[in-house]
Amino acid sequence: MTRTILYIEDDPASRRLIERMLKHAGYRVLLAERGLQGIDLARLERPDLILTDINLPDLSGHEIATTLRNDERFQDTPIVALTAQGHAAQDMAMAAGVTGFLTKPIDIEILLTQVKYYLEGGQDEIDSERLFSAQVRYTREVVARLEGRIRELESVNQELLKLDRMKETFIQITAHELRTPLTLVFGYHRLLEDHLTIKTLMDSDEGIKTLIYGMGEAVTRMQNMIEEILIMSRIITKKIDLSLSPTNLGNVMEGAIDYFHDSLSHRKIRIHFDKSIWPRQMQADTDLMRIVMINLLSNAIKYTPDDSDVFTLVSVDGENVRFSVLDTGIGINPDQHKRIFEQFHTVDDAKLHSTSKTTFMGGGLGLGLAMCKGIIEAHGGKIWVESLGRDLETYPGSQFVVVMPLIARRSLPKLT
Ligand code: ADP
């Protein structure tokens, strides 16, 4: 039976040399460059012997031995350390729990005989007094290293928090700076559209009309994207401040459906909506709820083929309202049901997506649902999706469900 040896070594030259020797002697060899990688590989492959260098970039060989010895499955596995010459290093390895050690530089003949010896149950011995004092030194060393690591992690964590704050400030400043000139472009476009000469030109020349409309659409898309990014950054930094007021949810849904009027008739998509059953009085942030409705409808339209139906459903249950947008589109696989609510997550490659909010299978930034989730949760509600799976032939559809309180309260700052 071929025996398996795991060799943990960060130096490529030693790795290659010893791998070749062990393979030549008929062993199956597994290699790891780092301590944690070695431990994972050991747990996965259960080698017959583990050979480890002492100085590794993450865990030391000592720490690898101690970790594996604490795992029942490795109580009897020979773990052999490659140490420097001298008692101190060897005693320390024994204190950490190795079966034996080989000294560097390695003599190939000795390596093969020793490997055989350890595989057959052989063990190195040191006297108990030396072992005891090595154990004391080893414990001190581990504690000191642990303290060093905790300090390192703390400073990295501080650095990451600082970078995170910088990233948020950068997003906010960039988006605000972009918004100002874009508002000007939007205004100029309006003036252009209303200009008498241009109007006459547009009436007589389809090409010019398309150009002017295209320009308007592009500017609106850019404005929407900037708004999305700004709202998203408020949601991420938990700075979403609800502006609560009496809200007629039926009006909000009606307005959102109206927003898509042109594309709905163009794509022959029928949205079923009965305003009379929607609650007229609730306490919510009307503008943010409009964003939720627009995003849910936009997705339903985007992922449903032409000449199909989208349903809007609603019911009031005690203090909560439950509403949903149910489409007859491509559907969503269960493994994506949670992930689609993450920021910048798109099921298909975002690069393949067009930026239109209504083209079939057209995409966006992958922010829409993350934004909906942030807004609904800020109101104290929940949002989720139900869908049997994705199928571009049978169109199983998806249903996005929201349950939220009729009277939302501004969440109070948490006491820590
Ligand atoms: P995007 O703006 O890219 O559409 P969203 O956050 O709104 O981003 O949606 C994330 C992903 O979820 C989309 O890329 C899409 O693959 C999937 N998705 C969202 N809504 C639907 C739906 N109604 N039907 C099928 N897939 C959907």
Q: How confident is the model at residue 140 (pLDDT cuts 50, 70, 90)?
A: very high
Pick the residue whose CA is nearest to atom 18 on ligand 1: 299
Using the predicted structure, report yes or no on whether residue 161 has a pLDDT greater than 80.
Answer: yes
What pLDDT score was predicted for residue 107? 87
Closest CA to 172 of 232, 116, 218: 232
Using the predicted structure, report yes or no on whether residue 212 has a pLDDT greater than 70.
Answer: yes
Report if pTM > 0.75.
no
Pick the residue whose CA is nearest to atom 16 on ligand 1: 347
What pLDDT score was predicted for residue 225? 83
Instruction: Render pLDDT for 299-320 as a digit per residue (tens, 0 to 9).
Output: 999 999 999 999 999 999 999 9
Using the predicted structure, report yes or no on whether residue 361 has a pLDDT greater than 80.
Answer: no
Q: How confident is the model at residue 329 (pLDDT cuts 50, 70, 90)?
A: very high
Q: What is the mean pLDDT of residues 37-58?
A: 95
Q: How confident is the model at residue 33 (pLDDT cuts 50, 70, 90)?
A: very high
> 255 C-alpha to center of ligand 1: Å?
21
Using the predicted structure, report yes or no on whether residue 351 has a pLDDT greater than 60.
Answer: no
Using the predicted structure, report yes or no on whether residue 357 has a pLDDT greater than 80.
Answer: no
Residue 8 CA to residue 352 CA, distance in Å, equals 43
Q: What is the mean pLDDT of the chain?
A: 90
Which of ligand 1's atoms lies nearest the C-alpha of 304? Answer: 24
Using the predicted structure, report yes or no on whether residue 350 has a pLDDT greater than 60.
Answer: no
Q: What are phi and psi of 325, to 5 degrees?
A: -115, 120
Using the predicted structure, report yes or no on whether residue 220 has a pLDDT greater than 80.
Answer: yes
User: Is 101 in contact with 80 (CB distance < 8 Å)?
Assistant: yes
Residues with CB under 6 A from ligand 1: 295, 299-300, 303, 327, 329-330, 332, 340, 345-347, 363-370, 398
Closest CA to 225 of 364, 35, 59, 394: 364
> 411 C-alpha to center of ligand 1: Å?
28
Using the predicted structure, report yes or no on whether residue 176 has a pLDDT greater than 60.
Answer: yes
Judged by average pLDDT, the poorest of 18-27, 72-81, 117-126, 352-361 is 352-361
Which of ligand 1's atoms lies nearest the C-alpha of 346? Answer: 14
Using the predicted structure, report yes or no on whether residue 396 has a pLDDT greater than 50.
Answer: yes
Q: How confident is the model at residue 249 (pLDDT cuts 50, 70, 90)?
A: very high
> 30 C-alpha to center of ligand 1: Å?
43
Angle of the 61-69 helix axis to the 128-194 helix axis, nearest 10: 100
Pick the residue whose CA is nearest to atom 14 on ligand 1: 346
Mutate to test the pocket of ligand 1, among 225, 298, 340 (most ligand atoms within 8 A of CB): 340
Which of ligand 1's atoms lies nearest the C-alpha of 390? Answer: 25
Beta bridge partners of residue 309, listed in sequence order: 270
Q: How confident is the model at residue 344 (pLDDT cuts 50, 70, 90)?
A: confident
> 345 C-alpha to center of ligand 1: Å?
8
> If DSSP states are collapsed to H, E and C, what string results for the chain?
CCCEEEEECCCHHHHHHHHHHHHHCCCEEEEECCHHHHHHHHHHHCCCEEEEECCCCCCCHHHHHHHHHCCHHHCCCCEEEEECCCHHHHHHHHHHCCCEEEECCCCHHHHHHHHHHHHCCCCCCCCHHHHHHHHHHHHHHHHHHHHHHHHHHHHHHHHHHHHHHHHHHHHHHHHHHHHHHHHHHHHHHHHHHHCHHHHHHHHHCHHHHHHHHHHHHHHHHHHHHHHHHHHHHHHHCCCCCCCCEEECHHHHHHHHHHHCHHHHHHCCCEEECCHHHCCCCEEECHHHHHHHHHHHHHHHHHCCCCCCEEEEEEEEECCEEEEEEEECCCCCCHHHCCHHHCCCCCCCCHHHCCCCCCCCCCCCCCCHHHHHHHHHHHCCCEEEEECCCCCCCCCCCCEEEEEEECECCCCCCCCC
Pick the residue whose CA is nearest to atom 2 on ligand 1: 364
Q: How confident is the model at residue 109 (pLDDT cuts 50, 70, 90)?
A: confident
> 365 C-alpha to center of ligand 1: Å?
10
